[in-house]
Amino acid sequence: GVLNQQFYANRQYVPSVVLFVSTVFKYYRPETVQEYIPHTLALFDHLAFTKPLDHEGFSLLASCVDNWKYANLQSEMNHIWQTIFRRLSAGKTNKFIKNLVLWLSRCALVFQKHSSEGIETFLQQIEQMQAGLLEMLFRNAILPSLEWFVHKADRELVIVAMTSMLLTSESLLSNCSLWRDSFVSLCRLVEKNKNTPPSEPLRENVGRELIAVKSATLASCEFERTIHVSGDPAETFMRMLNAFTANQTEAKLSAIASLPTSVRTFIGL
């Protein structure tokens, strides 16, 4: 079948396979979707370690996040993260990191949509794999990549997801230095986004290696704005920040006190 490894080992077929599987997840009956999940994870494992095609792996994951049942997402997330961390250990590229951060942002917001504790569940699954893994992911992948998102559509997704993670997760708040560094980076991103003209193009030019693949799914982590990001991200940031500061706890007071004066001025505290 389409998900036979011998078939998708031919790189020219990969975009079509990803598109087909995404269609199955979106339109087919739940029992059919269930049958495809193990084969889909095997395909992602393959694509994650095929550098010219790893963006297709994140396209596949984006479809999973958007269309799988929440229970399936929770149960399979450990497998997905294991593959991602193995690839990060084997060798990371800017393209892989950028797609990872976009997918992670999308995933966090989908978890939040399903449950009030969704983001905490999402982050805890990472930390439970190995102590310190969540901080490593933030410091080595997420925070260094924030300057790379030059287009508003990407930036706005990351802003809303980062805001939701930092202002709702006890796991992040309990690590004061990580929370502070992440929040400072988020404020820079919010300010940068405010100063970006709305007429800015939404998509980057496709790199040479991607053009060669002739992929129909190059916008691998393009998100549905109406679902994941509603309204102005700066307004979302301030609304959630006001809710965060309104319910003061010792951990929150300590985190806010650790912020540089310039950041406290920026957020009006």
The CA-atom distances, in angstroms, between 178 and each of 86, 87, 193, 197, 249 are 23, 24, 22, 31, 18
pLDDT digits (tens, 9 = 90+) for 89-124: 998 899 999 999 999 999 999 999 988 899 999 999
Alpha carbon distance 83, 85 (integer Å): 6
Alpha carbon distance 109, 107 (integer Å): 5
Q: Where does 169-260 have alpha helices with state H?
A: 170-173, 176-194, 208-213, 225-228, 233-246, 250-257
Grade residue 232 by pLDDT with cuts at 50, 70 and 90.
confident
Alpha carbon distance 227, 182 (integer Å): 25
* Neighbour tally for 52: CB within 10 Å: 16
Mean pLDDT, the chain, rounded, equals: 85
Greatest CA separation found in the chain? 60
137 pLDDT above the threshold of 90: yes
CB distance 29 to 73 below 8 Å: no
Amino acid at 148: W
pLDDT digits (tens, 9 = 90+) for 45-74: 999 999 999 999 999 999 898 888 889 999
pLDDT digits (tens, 9 = 90+) for 143-162: 999 988 878 888 999 999 99
pLDDT digits (tens, 9 = 90+) for 22-41: 888 888 888 888 898 999 99
